[in-house]
Amino acid sequence: MGENKNGPSGFRVVDRRTFTADGTRREGSRPEEQKPEATPAPQPATSRQAEAEAEAAIDAEAPGFDTLVSYLSTTAMFQMGLLPGPSGERIPADMPNARRTIDLLEILQQKTQGNLTPDESRLLDDVLYDLRMSFVEMDKRQARRGK
């Protein structure tokens, strides 16, 4: 297996080191005879621009308090069965976990009291109000179906 170095695969190993193991210069490896090292082809400017724009967009969308509130409220809405799944399928309600998610938002509200901007405070108040009302409505619907 190792004897045929130029076998049918066409793969060939070439030693391009300038010096031998004993430190003498290899024959045919004079600096003027060496080919310049290949440099990677420069990327088109549009590709670099696209990468820079994508990175800027990610930085601009850095998660903040509003992202956290939005994430938790969306999770609660999924858990209550108010939003369709990724493929549009109906997700069954999971009211105990929806209650836990709403409780997490309430804890967040308590722990951040006095440290939020007026807009952040209003956002959290509005989201909690809407989720609580939706929870009560969904809970009533499930109670009617259960009778």
Is the model's pLDDT at 3 over the cut of 80? Answer: no
Confidence of residue 32 (pLDDT cuts 50, 70, 90): low
**pLDDT computed for residue 17 by the predictor:** 75
Q: Quote the pLDDT of residue 68.
A: 94
For residue 17, is it within any domain? no
DSSP state of 23: S
Tell whether 20 is covered by a domain: no
* Number of separate domains in the chain: 1
Assign residue 118 a region: left if phi > 0, alpha if psi is -120 to 50, beta otherwise?
alpha
User: What is the extent of the structural domain holding 76?
Assistant: 64-146
Does residue 33 form part of some domain?
no
Q: Is residue 119 part of a domain?
A: yes
CB atoms within 10 A of CB 83: 13
> Does any domain span residue 1?
no
Q: Read off the pLDDT of each residue in 99-108 and give the average, rounded to a whole number.
A: 97
Residue 107 covered by a domain:
yes
